[in-house]
Amino acid sequence: WVASSNPCSPWLYTTTLCERDYWSNKYPYCGGSFQSPIHITSDLLRFSPTLRPIEVRNYKLSSTEQLTLRNDGHSLKLSLPPTMYVAGLPNQFTAAQLHFHWGSSNWPTGSEHLVDSKKFAAELHIVHYNSDKYPDINTAIDKSDGLAVLGVLIKRLSSKVNQILLHICYFVFSDFEVRVPGFNVRELLPARLDEYYRYDGSLTTPPCFPSVLWTVFRNHVTISRQQYLALVTSLHASSAQNQEVAPLNNNFRKPQPIDSRVVLVSFKEGLLVPILVSCSILGVVLIVKFFKFT
Protein backbone atom coordinates (compact mmCIF):
# COMPACT_ATOMS: atom_id res chain seq x y z
CA TRP A 1 0.00 0.00 0.00
CA VAL A 2 2.93 2.37 0.66
CA ALA A 3 5.81 3.34 -1.60
CA SER A 4 9.17 1.93 -0.55
CA SER A 5 10.73 5.42 -0.55
CA ASN A 6 8.73 6.22 2.56
CA PRO A 7 11.17 6.28 5.53
CA CYS A 8 8.41 4.71 7.65
CA SER A 9 7.92 1.82 5.27
CA PRO A 10 7.59 -0.61 6.84
CA TRP A 11 5.85 1.18 9.69
CA LEU A 12 6.42 -0.11 13.19
CA TYR A 13 4.76 -0.42 16.58
CA THR A 14 8.06 0.44 18.30
CA THR A 15 11.13 2.65 17.78
CA THR A 16 10.99 6.44 17.66
CA LEU A 17 10.34 7.88 14.19
CA CYS A 18 7.84 5.34 12.93
CA GLU A 19 6.11 4.17 16.12
CA ARG A 20 2.34 4.23 16.47
CA ASP A 21 2.18 7.69 18.10
CA TYR A 22 3.88 9.19 15.02
CA TRP A 23 2.15 7.33 12.23
CA SER A 24 0.29 10.46 11.17
CA ASN A 25 3.59 12.13 10.25
CA LYS A 26 3.76 9.90 7.17
CA TYR A 27 0.20 8.57 6.97
CA PRO A 28 -2.13 11.58 7.30
CA TYR A 29 -5.31 9.53 7.75
CA CYS A 30 -3.85 8.15 10.99
CA GLY A 31 -4.26 11.63 12.46
CA GLY A 32 -7.67 12.24 10.91
CA SER A 33 -11.26 11.66 11.97
CA PHE A 34 -13.24 8.48 12.58
CA GLN A 35 -10.22 6.45 13.60
CA SER A 36 -10.16 3.05 15.27
CA PRO A 37 -9.99 1.46 17.73
CA ILE A 38 -12.16 3.28 20.27
CA HIS A 39 -13.05 3.01 23.93
CA ILE A 40 -16.66 1.81 23.95
CA THR A 41 -18.38 3.43 26.93
CA SER A 42 -22.00 3.28 28.08
CA ASP A 43 -22.69 6.93 27.25
CA LEU A 44 -21.92 6.28 23.56
CA LEU A 45 -24.38 3.43 23.16
CA ARG A 46 -27.67 3.67 21.27
CA PHE A 47 -29.93 0.67 20.78
CA SER A 48 -30.89 0.09 17.15
CA PRO A 49 -33.75 -2.34 16.42
CA THR A 50 -32.60 -2.52 12.79
CA LEU A 51 -29.39 -4.37 13.63
CA ARG A 52 -29.82 -8.00 12.63
CA PRO A 53 -27.80 -11.00 13.81
CA ILE A 54 -24.54 -11.35 11.91
CA GLU A 55 -24.84 -14.04 9.24
CA VAL A 56 -21.55 -15.71 8.38
CA ARG A 57 -21.63 -17.93 5.31
CA ASN A 58 -19.28 -20.73 4.25
CA TYR A 59 -17.10 -20.25 7.33
CA LYS A 60 -16.75 -24.02 7.75
CA LEU A 61 -13.81 -24.78 5.49
CA SER A 62 -12.78 -28.20 4.28
CA SER A 63 -9.53 -29.58 5.69
CA THR A 64 -8.45 -30.14 2.08
CA GLU A 65 -8.45 -26.38 1.49
CA GLN A 66 -5.00 -24.85 2.00
CA LEU A 67 -4.68 -21.45 3.66
CA THR A 68 -1.58 -19.27 3.95
CA LEU A 69 -0.54 -18.34 7.48
CA ARG A 70 2.06 -15.58 7.55
CA ASN A 71 4.07 -13.47 9.93
CA ASP A 72 4.01 -10.12 8.13
CA GLY A 73 6.10 -8.35 10.79
CA HIS A 74 3.02 -6.65 12.24
CA SER A 75 0.74 -9.55 13.08
CA LEU A 76 -0.10 -13.20 12.51
CA LYS A 77 -2.24 -13.19 9.36
CA LEU A 78 -4.30 -15.98 7.79
CA SER A 79 -5.57 -15.69 4.22
CA LEU A 80 -9.24 -16.58 3.69
CA PRO A 81 -11.00 -17.89 0.56
CA PRO A 82 -13.50 -15.69 -1.34
CA THR A 83 -16.25 -18.26 -0.76
CA MET A 84 -16.54 -16.91 2.80
CA TYR A 85 -18.73 -13.86 3.26
CA VAL A 86 -20.97 -11.95 5.66
CA ALA A 87 -24.63 -11.30 4.88
CA GLY A 88 -27.07 -9.03 6.70
CA LEU A 89 -24.99 -5.88 6.21
CA PRO A 90 -25.83 -3.05 3.78
CA ASN A 91 -23.91 -5.01 1.12
CA GLN A 92 -22.35 -8.43 0.80
CA PHE A 93 -18.84 -8.45 2.25
CA THR A 94 -16.39 -11.15 1.17
CA ALA A 95 -13.69 -12.42 3.53
CA ALA A 96 -10.06 -11.61 2.77
CA GLN A 97 -7.98 -12.37 5.86
CA LEU A 98 -7.93 -12.59 9.63
CA HIS A 99 -5.23 -11.46 12.02
CA PHE A 100 -4.55 -10.91 15.71
CA HIS A 101 -3.47 -8.11 18.03
CA TRP A 102 -1.92 -8.91 21.41
CA GLY A 103 0.21 -7.61 24.28
CA SER A 104 3.31 -9.21 25.80
CA SER A 105 4.25 -11.45 28.69
CA ASN A 106 4.71 -8.30 30.78
CA TRP A 107 1.60 -6.56 29.41
CA PRO A 108 -1.11 -9.24 29.08
CA THR A 109 -3.82 -6.90 27.80
CA GLY A 110 -3.37 -6.43 24.07
CA SER A 111 -6.87 -5.91 22.71
CA GLU A 112 -7.40 -2.77 20.64
CA HIS A 113 -10.98 -1.98 21.66
CA LEU A 114 -11.85 -1.27 25.28
CA VAL A 115 -15.33 -1.79 26.74
CA ASP A 116 -16.11 0.36 29.78
CA SER A 117 -12.39 0.64 30.64
CA LYS A 118 -11.83 -3.11 30.31
CA LYS A 119 -9.06 -4.43 28.08
CA PHE A 120 -8.75 -8.02 26.99
CA ALA A 121 -5.76 -10.30 26.40
CA ALA A 122 -5.96 -10.12 22.61
CA GLU A 123 -8.26 -9.29 19.71
CA LEU A 124 -9.12 -11.10 16.49
CA HIS A 125 -10.09 -9.19 13.34
CA ILE A 126 -11.77 -10.92 10.39
CA VAL A 127 -11.50 -8.53 7.45
CA HIS A 128 -14.06 -8.44 4.61
CA TYR A 129 -14.46 -6.16 1.60
CA ASN A 130 -17.59 -4.88 -0.14
CA SER A 131 -17.79 -7.33 -3.04
CA ASP A 132 -21.07 -5.87 -4.29
CA LYS A 133 -19.22 -2.72 -5.31
CA TYR A 134 -15.51 -3.54 -5.59
CA PRO A 135 -13.60 -6.37 -7.31
CA ASP A 136 -11.02 -6.94 -4.57
CA ILE A 137 -9.81 -5.71 -1.21
CA ASN A 138 -7.08 -3.51 -2.69
CA THR A 139 -9.70 -1.54 -4.61
CA ALA A 140 -12.07 -1.35 -1.64
CA ILE A 141 -9.59 -0.52 1.10
CA ASP A 142 -9.70 3.28 0.81
CA LYS A 143 -13.43 3.60 0.02
CA SER A 144 -15.80 4.88 2.71
CA ASP A 145 -17.99 1.79 2.33
CA GLY A 146 -15.18 -0.55 1.38
CA LEU A 147 -14.56 -2.80 4.38
CA ALA A 148 -16.36 -4.59 7.19
CA VAL A 149 -14.41 -6.08 10.09
CA LEU A 150 -15.64 -8.51 12.72
CA GLY A 151 -13.83 -7.88 16.00
CA VAL A 152 -13.60 -10.62 18.62
CA LEU A 153 -12.29 -9.87 22.10
CA ILE A 154 -10.15 -12.68 23.50
CA LYS A 155 -10.02 -13.18 27.23
CA ARG A 156 -8.04 -16.29 27.87
CA LEU A 157 -7.87 -19.04 23.38
CA SER A 158 -10.46 -21.30 22.05
CA SER A 159 -9.22 -24.70 20.90
CA LYS A 160 -9.66 -23.66 17.27
CA VAL A 161 -7.22 -20.78 17.66
CA ASN A 162 -4.79 -23.43 18.86
CA GLN A 163 -4.97 -24.98 15.36
CA ILE A 164 -3.32 -21.79 14.12
CA LEU A 165 -0.74 -21.67 16.92
CA LEU A 166 0.37 -25.25 16.25
CA HIS A 167 2.25 -23.87 13.25
CA ILE A 168 3.86 -20.94 15.05
CA CYS A 169 7.39 -22.39 15.02
CA TYR A 170 7.43 -22.24 11.21
CA PHE A 171 7.20 -18.47 10.88
CA VAL A 172 9.09 -16.98 13.80
CA PHE A 173 10.55 -14.23 11.61
CA SER A 174 8.87 -11.59 9.48
CA ASP A 175 7.79 -12.72 5.99
CA PHE A 176 7.85 -16.39 6.94
CA GLU A 177 4.72 -18.28 5.94
CA VAL A 178 3.30 -21.78 5.97
CA ARG A 179 0.32 -23.55 4.41
CA VAL A 180 -2.29 -24.81 6.88
CA PRO A 181 -5.44 -26.91 6.33
CA GLY A 182 -8.84 -25.29 6.42
CA PHE A 183 -10.99 -25.48 9.56
CA ASN A 184 -14.29 -24.12 10.87
CA VAL A 185 -13.61 -20.39 11.19
CA ARG A 186 -17.04 -19.96 12.79
CA GLU A 187 -15.58 -21.56 15.92
CA LEU A 188 -13.30 -18.55 16.38
CA LEU A 189 -16.40 -16.42 16.98
CA PRO A 190 -18.51 -16.22 20.14
CA ALA A 191 -21.62 -18.39 20.30
CA ARG A 192 -23.98 -15.42 20.03
CA LEU A 193 -23.71 -13.38 16.84
CA ASP A 194 -26.78 -11.28 17.64
CA GLU A 195 -25.11 -9.16 20.35
CA TYR A 196 -22.58 -6.64 19.13
CA TYR A 197 -21.40 -3.03 18.95
CA ARG A 198 -21.49 -1.27 15.58
CA TYR A 199 -19.74 1.94 14.52
CA ASP A 200 -17.98 3.59 11.57
CA GLY A 201 -14.22 3.62 11.88
CA SER A 202 -10.90 2.92 10.24
CA LEU A 203 -8.08 0.48 9.75
CA THR A 204 -6.14 0.26 13.01
CA THR A 205 -2.84 0.19 11.11
CA PRO A 206 -1.35 2.51 8.47
CA PRO A 207 -2.57 3.90 6.20
CA CYS A 208 -5.56 4.12 8.61
CA PHE A 209 -8.19 4.69 5.92
CA PRO A 210 -11.62 5.51 7.48
CA SER A 211 -13.24 2.77 5.46
CA VAL A 212 -14.40 0.20 8.01
CA LEU A 213 -17.86 -0.76 9.23
CA TRP A 214 -16.94 -2.22 12.61
CA THR A 215 -18.80 -5.03 14.35
CA VAL A 216 -17.30 -5.79 17.77
CA PHE A 217 -18.99 -8.71 19.46
CA ARG A 218 -20.26 -8.18 22.97
CA ASN A 219 -19.18 -11.63 24.16
CA HIS A 220 -15.56 -12.71 24.26
CA VAL A 221 -13.85 -16.01 23.50
CA THR A 222 -11.29 -17.59 25.81
CA ILE A 223 -7.59 -18.46 25.69
CA SER A 224 -5.29 -20.47 27.95
CA ARG A 225 -2.22 -18.87 29.51
CA GLN A 226 0.02 -21.36 27.67
CA GLN A 227 -1.49 -20.47 24.30
CA TYR A 228 -1.25 -16.75 25.01
CA LEU A 229 2.42 -16.98 25.97
CA ALA A 230 3.13 -18.93 22.76
CA LEU A 231 1.59 -16.11 20.77
CA VAL A 232 3.32 -13.20 22.51
CA THR A 233 6.81 -14.69 22.94
CA SER A 234 7.45 -16.74 19.78
CA LEU A 235 7.25 -14.22 16.94
CA HIS A 236 9.68 -11.58 15.70
CA ALA A 237 8.92 -8.37 13.83
CA SER A 238 12.36 -8.57 12.22
CA SER A 239 13.43 -10.75 9.30
CA ALA A 240 15.77 -13.73 9.59
CA GLN A 241 18.51 -11.68 7.87
CA ASN A 242 18.28 -8.86 10.41
CA GLN A 243 20.92 -9.25 13.10
CA GLU A 244 18.92 -7.07 15.49
CA VAL A 245 16.04 -9.27 16.67
CA ALA A 246 12.83 -7.35 17.39
CA PRO A 247 10.06 -9.25 19.19
CA LEU A 248 6.58 -9.04 17.72
CA ASN A 249 4.44 -8.05 20.67
CA ASN A 250 2.28 -5.17 21.90
CA ASN A 251 0.98 -4.84 18.34
CA PHE A 252 -2.08 -2.83 19.26
CA ARG A 253 -3.11 0.77 18.70
CA LYS A 254 -4.42 2.86 21.57
CA PRO A 255 -8.06 4.08 21.53
CA GLN A 256 -8.69 7.04 19.24
CA PRO A 257 -10.92 10.13 19.70
CA ILE A 258 -14.65 9.49 19.38
CA ASP A 259 -15.24 12.48 17.04
CA SER A 260 -18.95 12.81 17.94
CA ARG A 261 -19.66 9.23 16.94
CA VAL A 262 -22.27 7.04 18.56
CA VAL A 263 -22.01 3.29 18.90
CA LEU A 264 -25.10 1.35 17.88
CA VAL A 265 -25.87 -1.82 19.79
CA SER A 266 -28.06 -4.76 18.88
CA PHE A 267 -29.08 -5.56 22.45
CA LYS A 268 -30.98 -3.78 25.25
CA GLU A 269 -29.63 -5.64 28.26
CA GLY A 270 -27.45 -3.40 30.37
CA LEU A 271 -28.34 -0.17 28.57
CA LEU A 272 -29.42 2.91 30.48
CA VAL A 273 -32.42 4.48 28.76
CA PRO A 274 -33.90 7.85 29.80
CA ILE A 275 -37.62 7.69 30.69
CA LEU A 276 -39.90 10.71 31.34
CA VAL A 277 -41.70 10.09 34.63
CA SER A 278 -43.56 13.28 35.68
CA CYS A 279 -44.40 16.94 35.06
CA SER A 280 -45.23 19.83 37.45
CA ILE A 281 -48.43 21.90 37.25
CA LEU A 282 -46.44 25.16 37.37
CA GLY A 283 -44.70 24.44 34.11
CA VAL A 284 -43.18 21.51 32.41
CA VAL A 285 -40.53 19.99 34.61
CA LEU A 286 -38.90 16.90 33.23
CA ILE A 287 -37.92 14.39 35.84
CA VAL A 288 -35.69 11.85 34.21
CA LYS A 289 -34.62 8.56 35.66
CA PHE A 290 -32.50 5.90 34.07
CA PHE A 291 -33.86 2.40 33.91
CA LYS A 292 -31.61 -0.53 33.21
CA PHE A 293 -32.99 -3.22 30.93
CA THR A 294 -32.23 -6.72 32.16
Active site residue ranges: 74
Residue 284's CB: how many other CB atoms inside 10 A? 7
Closest CA relative to residue 112, chosen from 235, 236, 256, 11: 256
- What does the H/E/C string look like for 57-106? ECCECCCCCEEEEEECCCCEEEECCCCCEEECCCCCEEEEEEEEEECCCC
Number of residues assigned to the chain: 294
Query: For residues 192 and 133, what is the distance between their CA atoms, to the nearest angstrom?
Result: 29
Angle 36-41-42 from CA coordinates, rounded to 5°: 145
Q: Say if residues 34 and 208 touch (Cβ distance below 8 Å).
A: no
Q: Say if residues 65 and 95 touch (Cβ distance below 8 Å).
A: no
